[in-house]
């Protein structure tokens, strides 16, 4: 693991899975029991208590922004590629999106009361940045064409004072953090269900052309059975 704990947040990955390691809960049906099981994620998220959380673009638009179309402000002056810190309440509650190509549409600077930070590359348009400034949504640059996770995490720490960060998917983003050695702890909520779908994502997915290491070893820190036959597994890296 990259030893950068003094310069980046401590990264905890929280994921909810079936017994066969699948993570896309919307494919599991809408029975009353399934809704109870899906609710375990927020329950444990609150119990862990990490205020800042980060997801990839696909997860953010599917679960939070409802595929909102990006807004481009056509009337703007040229904008330098400097990080922009919008006004926030200082509570340390942040919703963070990895969106290198600026595909997310934003209407306001908060998400469920958490101040939004979007992580971009320098290729995004001035009009997109102008709209983010108009609504007071924070953004940081973490690469020219591709996001450098280490740069992004260092900036989250230095600009926003984020000491702990919850990583919540999707599979490719989790895989990128895993590949870079940037996860300190994994919390897996193992639900008493079997998915069986061959098209469903697992916790970590790394493109074969990007995968440079073998399997990542972890140490089992704790096993706890919680309500409704759910196992809460905690690993350290």
pLDDT 10s digits, 119-143 = 999 999 999 999 999 999 999 999 9
**Looking at 1-15, 30-44, 78-92, 214-228, which range is the least confident one?**
1-15
Torsion sign (Cα): 195, 199, 200, 201: positive
- Domain coverage including residue 112: 10-236
User: Does some domain include residue 3?
Assistant: no
Q: What is the Cα–Cα distance from 89 to 149, expressed in whole angstroms? A: 25
**In the prediction, which pLDDT does 211 show?**
87
CATH number of the domain bearing residue 203: 3.40.430.10
Number of folded domains in the chain?
A: 1
In DSSP terms, 224 is beta-bridged to 232
User: Does some domain include residue 60?
Assistant: yes
Asked if pLDDT for residue 219 goes beyond 80, the answer is yes
Q: Does residue 174 or residue 212 have the better pLDDT?
A: 174
User: Does some domain include residue 2?
Assistant: no
**Looking at 5-14, 57-66, 186-195, which range is the least confident one?**
5-14
String of b and e for 95-116 (b: at least 16 CB within 10 Å)? bbbbbbebbbbbeebbbeebbb
Q: What pTM did the predictor assign?
A: 0.93
List all residues 6 or more positions away from 134 whose beta carbon is below 8 Å from its beta carbon.
Answer: 73
User: Does some domain include residue 64?
Assistant: yes
**In the prediction, which pLDDT does 106 show?**
98
User: Does some domain include residue 5?
Assistant: no
User: Does some domain include residue 218?
Assistant: yes
């Amino acid at each position: 693991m990259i030893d950068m704990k003094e310069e980046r947040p401590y990264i905890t990955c929280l994921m909810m899975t079936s017994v066969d390691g699948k993570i896309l809960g919307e494919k599991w049906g809408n029975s009353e029991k399934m809704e109870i099981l899906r609710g375990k994620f927020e329950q444990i998220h609150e119990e862990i208590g990490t205020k800042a959380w980060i997801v990839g673009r696909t997860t953010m638009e599917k679960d939070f922004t409802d595929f909102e179309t990006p807004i481009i402000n056509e009337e703007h002056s040229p904008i330098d590629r400097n990080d922009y810190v919008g006004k926030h309440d200082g509570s340390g509650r942040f919703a963070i999106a990895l969106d290198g190509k600026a595909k997310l549409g934003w209407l306001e600077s908060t998400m469920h009361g958490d101040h939004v930070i979007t992580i971009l590359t320098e290729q995004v348009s001035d009009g997109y940045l102008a709209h983010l400034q108009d609504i007071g949504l924070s953004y940081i640059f973490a690469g020219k064409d591709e996001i450098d996770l280490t740069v992004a995490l260092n900036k989250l720490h230095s600009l926003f004072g984020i000491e702990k960060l919850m990583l919540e998917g999707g599979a490719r983003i989790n895989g990128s953090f895993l590949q870079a050695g940037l996860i300190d702890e994994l919390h897996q909520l193992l639900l008493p269900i079997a998915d069986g779908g061959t098209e469903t994502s697992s916790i970590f997915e790394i493109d074969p052309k990007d995968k440079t290491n073998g399997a990542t070893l972890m140490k089992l820190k704790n096993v706890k059975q919680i309500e409704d036959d759910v196992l809460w597994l905690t690993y350290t890296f």
